[in-house]
Chain A
Amino acid sequence: MNKNQEQRMAFIDFWANYVRTHDDKEWSRLQNTVINQTPGMTAEQFLKMKGHQAKPVK
C-alpha cells in the first residue's frame, strides 16, 4: 500500500469511528454536504459516460 492509500485508509478509519460515536443526524448532515453534489446531465450523456448504448427507439 502506498502512502496515499495509507492516508485514505486512515481517513476511512477516522470517519467510521466518527459515525459510530456520533448521533446519526450529526454525521449524516456532514456526509450529505459531500454526497448531495450530483452532476446535472441528460440520460444520453449519463449512458455515454457509463459506456452503455443509448435507449433503443420504442
Chain B
Amino acid sequence: MEITPGKIKLDRELSELDKFAISFCKAINRLTPYVIVSGYVSILLGRTRGSEDIDMLIPEMLKNEWEDIHKALEKAGYECINAGVHESFSYLNDNIAVRFALKGKPIPNMEILLATNKIQRVALETSIAAIVGKDKIIISNLELQIAYKENVLKSPKDMEDARHLRQILGKAINMKKLKEYEVMLK
C-alpha cells in the first residue's frame, strides 16, 4: 500500500464488498461527485470486519437532477431498496439515507446521503483517490475519518476503525489537519 497526500494506491485481492463498491462508484461517477465515508474506508485499507453497507455522500441537488441519477442507477442494474424514484428525493431531503443494491441482492448496499452540513461538505471537498488495482474509488481523507470517528461517533467499532487508520497512516498522518478537524467538530 502506498500512501501519499491525496492518493492511496493498493493492489489488494478484491472482496465482494470491494467489487460492489467499485462497480457502483463507476456507475455514479458519471452522474455526480461523491465520496465514500465511514466504515468502508477502514475496511478497504485492511480492517478485519464485515459490513452490509457502504456510506456515500453526494452534493445537494435539485429534485430532477436526483431523479435522473436514480433512474440511471436503475438502468445500470441497481435498485433502491427503501424508496421508489418519486419518494427517494424527499428521503434525501429529510436526511434519510436511500439504499441502492444490485437488483435482487440487498446485501451489500450503498447508503447514500446528501452532504447537507459543513463537515459532510468538507468530506466531499477534501476527498482523496484510492487506486485499487486498475480502479478508483473516491474516499474521505483519512484524518477527517479519524477525527469524526473519535470525536463524533465514538462507538467501540468506530474507535477501532479510527485506531486502524491511525496505525495504517503511521508517520504519514497529518497532525495539523487532524487537529483542525477536531476543532471543527467540537
Chain A residues near B (Cβ < 8 Å): 5, 8-9, 12-13, 15-17, 19-20, 24-25, 27-29, 31-32, 34-43, 46-47, 52-58
Contacts and interface: CB of A to CB of B under 8 A. Distances in A.
A34 B48 contact: yes
Contact of B83 (A16, A25, A34, A56): A56
B10 A24 contact: yes
12 contacts: A8-B160, A9-B163, A16-B163, A20-B170, A35-B48, A38-B50, A46-B52, A46-B107, A47-B99, A52-B82, A52-B99, A56-B87
B69 interface: no
Nearest to B165: A16
A19 B15 contact: no
A15 B85 CA distance: 42
Q: Which 8 residue pairs across A and B have the least CB separation, nearest first?
A: A16-B167, A28-B12, A19-B46, A43-B106, A58-B84, A43-B81, A28-B13, A35-B50
Contacts of B15: 28, 31-32, 35-36
B52 A38 contact: yes
